[in-house]
Amino acid sequence: MIYAQSPLAIGLFITFVCFVLGLSFYLARRTSSAEGYYAAGGNIHWFTNGVAFAGDYLSAASFLGICGMIATAGYDGWMYSIGYLAGWIVALFLVAEPMKRLGKYTFTDALDSKFNSKSIQLTAAISTLLVSVFYLIPQMVGAGVLVQPLLGLPHWVGVCIVGVVVTIIVATAGMASTTYVQFFKGALLLIMSTVVVVSVLVRGLSTEPVNNGMPYHDFKTMTASSTLELDDPRYTIVAGLDSTFGEAGFIKLAKDGKESIWQLNKADSGYTLEETLYVSEMPDGTKMYNGAEKQDGAFFPVGHIKELRMDGEEVAATGAVGPLAYLSALKDSTIVLWGKKYIMDGANKLTVYYQKPTPGSRVLRPGLKFKVDNATPTQTFNFVSLMLALFCGTAALPHILIRYYTVPSQAAARKSTIVAIASIGFFYILTLFLGMGAMTNGVINLTDNNMSAPLLALSFGVVLFAIISSLAFATVLGTVSGLIVAASGAVAHDLMDNFLGMNMSDAAKVRAGKIAAVVVGCIAIYLGIVFEGMNVSFLVGWAFAVAASANLPAILMLLFWKRTTGKGIAASIMVGLVTSLGLILISPDMWVRYGLLPQDAPISFNSPALISIPASILALVIVSLMTQKDVPMVASETAGA
């Protein structure tokens, strides 16, 4: 699929970058103190902080990844939205106020508030760094994905632009500029996503998608006899039933010297053939899209309704509809989803995308991505474990937790969390309409569904595309800023100042934080380039699982179990980190990335939370009980104290 660069999009992008840089330089004067740099002076208004929470949280994974997943897998993509939002309940009811009361700049401060333990300072800082880096990689990869259609530049340039801009933002003004960048980005994202959803509803549903005036590709169908005599004599068979294509349920045809691949469906008296899309990868890594170069545009965007029903009647278009009527019509209709199969064609590896007409009611319930129908125990374990990681991960993400230190009081921490829940909940409702809109408006790029939301905006014209793409880029900028602040705090405050006991002055702490931000920024740029092509939501899932396993048990047990000791917390963090990372590294998904067969992996599940969270809690309990003499004699600071 190809994109034409829009001068408007480029102009908007440059304007936004200049705006955030100007804001950072303006706010730099507030950051001469450590409080100013790491916690924005602790005087951000709760409403501003709440929207900034949304800005921090609605990362590339939420905006690009979830919309893309809904566009291709329906309700299962929305399960991520539901799980992510549920995680904020943990943050509000259990973590928000105690974190504000116990901590100063980093979440390590809160964990270490009554122990002054070197082991906590070290393990919590390592955990913060690792979770932040795992979260940084998909954001940087997302930046690279976006920059190609937006500016027409290669992946590595996009990664470098984000890395350099964000490092300048953070190194100049720390948490103050990060907060205001997040506020503007969060607010704009909500407003513009609402505009796109309203546009989707006003357009309504149709069996002939409208895509910015471009006609939707007419995917052809033909019939063949049981001996494969085609009803269109212009086509000749290149690879038939006895080939690798035939074994996979396809045949390869040629017409006027151009080859195409067709899906074979058994019919009463022979076969029905349906046109597919395919990508062929040569041994040297060169890729052809539907038998042509990428820029030839032969690989068409997809997504359409086969049979549209509204109020029990079959119709060609619904016209403008309300949100509930929109979902109701989709539920009664038949939507064409796309499956994927791999076929070896000589030395070339082919990825064939074929049509899968699916009832809307099936699309709007779980099971297309997650194996929950007639699932094996392992598949059920995998699903439950993922939902547990999403639920527990939010309240343990370091870049989210440090935002509690930017407000002046515990009540402000609570109120800002509620604003975050309202903003993020509203956005996640919008993701369902954005994803389903992309699914039915002929805009999905099957080779990269991350671009579904911006391409849905493009179907309404280049202006909306320009704004949404710039916002998507801003989404990456904002989230990366927060992560780099969290990581630089872990290095300068937790490791250098506390763990190594360097006793730095206020100015030295700020200087160390800025240097750490530059170093972490460089690492992020490097990793963003190395991990090109990796699924944006994949590593975010890692980050959630690791954070939920390493950080949350320690936070909750510190708050709610009076016998918790410093050594118990350190053990919990290490066991959570090692168990979750270890299980991820030997999971079937990782086996595929090592170039091995997933069935050969030592374990058969991908999501580790259901094992690593209990293991982390168990480690804390056992070690704490063994080290009770270490419990401070002073009154314990528990959640209720």
Partner 1 sequence: MGHGPAVKLDKDNASAYKTRLGVKMFVAYTIVYAIFVVINATNPKAMESIIMGQTAAVLWGFGLIALALVQAVIYNHLCTKAEANLNS
Beta bridge partners of 587: none
Are the beta carbons of 516 and 488 closer than 8 angstroms?
A: yes
Q: Name which position in 61, 102, 248, 524 contacts partner 1 (CB under 8 A).
A: 102
Instruction: Give the shortest CB-71-to-partner 1 separation in angstroms.
Output: 16
Stretch that binds partner 1, among 20-28, 335-343, 425-433, 473-481 (CB under 8 A): 425-433
Residue 353 parent element (H or E): strand 348-359
364 makes contact with partner 1 (CB under 8 A): yes
432 makes contact with partner 1 (CB under 8 A): yes
Stretch that binds partner 1, among 63-71, 259-267, 268-276, 405-413 (CB under 8 A): 405-413
Q: Among residues 101 and 294, whose Cβ is nearest to partner 1?
A: 101
Q: Among residues 317 and 418, whose Cβ is nearest to partner 1?
A: 418
Q: Name which position in 20, 35, 61, 442 contacts partner 1 (CB under 8 A).
A: 35
641 makes contact with partner 1 (CB under 8 A): yes
Neighbours of 214 (CB within 10 A): 14
Stretch that binds partner 1, among 35-43, 217-225, 277-285, 625-633 (CB under 8 A): 35-43
200 makes contact with partner 1 (CB under 8 A): no
What is the C-alpha separation between 62 and 536, in angstroms, rounded? 10
Size of the site for partner 1 (CB under 8 A): 72
Neighbours of 78 (CB within 10 A): 22
Classify residue 349 as exposed, middle or buried by CB count within 10 Å of its CB (0-12, 13-18, 19+): middle
At 267 the three-state DSSP class reads strand
Helices 118-151 + 506-530 axis angle, to 10: 50
367 makes contact with partner 1 (CB under 8 A): yes
Instruction: Give the shortest CB-139-to-partner 1 separation in angstroms.
Output: 24
How is residue 607 annotated by DSSP?
Answer: -
**Interacting positions 601-640 with partner 1 (CB under 8 A):** 639-640
Q: Among residues 12 and 400, whose Cβ is nearest to partner 1?
A: 400
Q: Name which position in 9, 288, 387, 389 contacts partner 1 (CB under 8 A).
A: 387
Amino acid at 602: P
Stretch that binds partner 1, among 265-273, 418-426, 455-463, 617-625 (CB under 8 A): 418-426
31 makes contact with partner 1 (CB under 8 A): no
Evaluated on CA atoms 39, 40, 45, 46, the torsion sign reads: negative
304 makes contact with partner 1 (CB under 8 A): no
Stretch that binds partner 1, among 1-9, 107-115, 152-160, 165-173 (CB under 8 A): 107-115
Evaluated on CA atoms 531, 534, 536, 541, the torsion sign reads: negative
Q: Among residues 323 and 582, whose Cβ is nearest to partner 1?
A: 323
101 makes contact with partner 1 (CB under 8 A): yes
Are the beta carbons of 363 and 335 closer than 8 angstroms?
A: yes
What is the C-alpha separation between 432 and 445, in angstroms, rounded? 18
Instruction: Give the shortest CB-358-to-partner 1 separation in angstroms.
Output: 12
Long-range contacts of 289-295 (CB under 8 A, 24+ apart): 289/1, 289/447, 290/260, 291/258, 291/259, 291/260, 294/1, 294/2, 295/2
38 makes contact with partner 1 (CB under 8 A): yes
Instruction: Give the shortest CB-439-to-partner 1 separation in angstroms.
Output: 14
Are the beta carbons of 387 and 306 closer than 8 angstroms?
A: no
421 makes contact with partner 1 (CB under 8 A): yes
DSSP alpha helices (H): ranges in 74-227? 75-90, 96-102, 107-111, 118-151, 155-203
Sheet of strand 221-224, all strands in order from the earlier edge strand to the far edge: 221-224, 270-275, 258-267, 250-255, 236-239
How is residue 210 annotated by DSSP?
Answer: -
Helices 377-393 + 609-626 axis angle, to 10: 60
* Token pair in block for residue 107: 């979440």
* Token pair in block for residue 299: 């690989």
Instruction: Give the shortest CB-617-to-partner 1 separation in angstroms.
Output: 16
**Interacting positions 109-138 with partner 1 (CB under 8 A):** 109, 112-113, 116
Q: Name which position in 340, 362, 369, 511 contacts partner 1 (CB under 8 A).
A: 362
**Interacting positions 548-567 with partner 1 (CB under 8 A):** 560
**Interacting positions 57-96 with partner 1 (CB under 8 A):** 75, 78-79, 81-82, 85-86, 88-90, 92-94
Q: Among residues 84 and 591, whose Cβ is nearest to partner 1?
A: 84
Residue 354 parent element (H or E): strand 348-359
Q: Which residues of 352-373 are buried (b: 16+ CB within 10 A; e: fewer)?
A: bbbbeebebebbbebbbbbebe
Binding mask 483-512 for partner 1 (x = CB under 8 A): ----------x---xx--------------
Are the beta carbons of 171 and 447 closer than 8 angstroms?
A: no
Q: Name which position in 378, 380, 627, 636 contacts partner 1 (CB under 8 A).
A: 380
361 makes contact with partner 1 (CB under 8 A): yes
Q: Name which position in 409, 461, 502, 526 contacts partner 1 (CB under 8 A).
A: 409
Stretch that binds partner 1, among 32-40, 156-164, 232-240, 299-307 (CB under 8 A): 32-40
Q: Name which position in 418, 518, 523, 590 contacts partner 1 (CB under 8 A).
A: 418
Q: Among residues 252 and 415, whose Cβ is nearest to partner 1?
A: 415
Tell me phi and psi for residue 446, to 5 degrees: -65, -20
Q: Among residues 98 and 209, whose Cβ is nearest to partner 1?
A: 98
429 makes contact with partner 1 (CB under 8 A): yes
What is the C-alpha separation between 479 and 250, in angstroms, rounded? 44
